[in-house]
Amino acid sequence: MADRVVLAYSGGLDTSVGIGWLRDATGKDVVALAVDVGQGGEDLDAIRQRALDCGAVESIVVDAKDEFADDYLVPALKANALYQKRYPLVSALSRPLIAKHLALTAKQLGADSVAHGCTGKGNDQVRFEAAVAAIAPDLTSVAPVRDLALTRDKAIAYARQHDLPIEQSAGSPYSIDQNVWGRAVETVFLEDPWNAPAEDLYAYTQDPTVPRDPDEVTITFEQGVPVAIDGQRFSMLRVVQELNALAGKHGVGRVDVVEDRLVGIKSREVYEAPAAVALIAAHEELESLTLERDVNRYKRGVEAEWADLVYDGLWFGGLKRSLDAFVDHTQLHVTGDIRLQLHGGRAVVTGRRSSQSLYDFELATYDTGDAFDQSQARGFIEIWSMPSKIAARRDQAN
């Protein structure tokens, strides 16, 4: 029905108040859609009921945790995806999945519009709307917070005026987005880049300065995908969950950055991503063992471009899909075991092995009887250096 709008619903203040605001501003009935990407917290049945209590005509909850892990986190891990070399794309990876379900739900209901609770300052507005446009270009996107000037103080006042079941206060300090891949925290306090993060803002990681014995863990990969921990096979979702607990205990995965947002401003963010940081460290090390030198070198540039595209909301774009094909091909032989030591906020690789390894002991050893013919090195260097030598003669002559 075209007189409906499907709202990406989180259960928080902005999207709860947004139900009434959307209805008042558009005259349309609101369908609330909550997508479970492993964010934890409240029971989703409670979130579903809250949407109905806030005025939604229908409230839908989708369990997308395994889909998120298999179809979004696996490609990200294969690409060692880190935006600006630091941020493991915690929020950026979940948005195209949520947008996909948003668009599909709208199509199934015959609605002509979708909505989200993003502000005009952030990246997520772009990610949601660009993804929806790529999946269902005929749908219209509405953002109450951005388009209807729904500020926080107005939202709180609206919730109180209409007696909405929202437990929020103007003094709540943290703005948090989280899923199974990690947790993103923004606060008024952190908006000054000089201020250090307070320990109480962390939830996925324990204080790495507290003395504790290190843990050792072996992660098994098959064609770039982690499939087992210490010999016990798990789904991708379970691997991430297990490593969140193991690495999080040692404070692994805390990231404090000033990043460049897509909308042109710099933003100070604090992230926690214990499993993501540990898995990327392990995966990169296995690639060092199994990928050819030129493939590995070229892939590093592709990884940066891949992360930029995802951060910029172009998950469903043509270039991203083409890079996926390249990355997938590089993973054919990325199979083996990586041993990690987790301790003091770090995940350190201490061992690697693979049946697909390109490491040749007979070539690498410095012991007598090695297979490397050192006599060939002199001629190789002469040829390798020839362009530099010729250019140097020219430069010196001038």
Q: Which of 146, 175, 256, 308 is catalytic?
A: 175
Contact 77, 280 (CB under 8 A): yes
Q: Which of 95, 127, 254, 268 is catalytic?
A: 95
Question: Which amino acid is residue 270, in one-letter code?
Answer: V
Other C-beta atoms lying within 10 Å of the C-beta of residue 397: 6
In the structure encoding, which two tokens stand for residue 189, read together? Answer: 């306090």
- Would you say how long the chain is, in residues? 398
Active site residue 95: yes
Q: DSSP assignment of 27-75, as one string?
A: --EEEEEEEESS--SS-HHHHHHHHHHTT-SEEEEEE-HHHHIIIIIHH
Question: Which amino acid is residue 197, in one-letter code?
Answer: P
Task: Say how far apart CA 234 and CA 243 lie, in whole Å.
Answer: 11
Active site residue 124: yes
* Alpha helices, H only, 110-235: 124-135, 144-147, 152-161
Pick from 156, 159, 157: nearest CA to 172? 156
Q: Which of 10, 14, 91, 254 is catalytic?
A: 14
Under DSSP, is residue 110 helix (H, G, I), strand (E, B) or coil?
coil
Q: Which of 16, 29, 59, 124 is catalytic?
A: 124
* Strand-strand pairing, 113-115 and 346-353: unpaired
In the structure encoding, which two tokens stand for residue 65, read together? Answer: 């945790």
Pick from 349, 359, 220, 225: nearest CA to 292? 359
Active site residue 14: yes
Active site residue 71: no
Catalytic residues: 14, 95, 124, 175
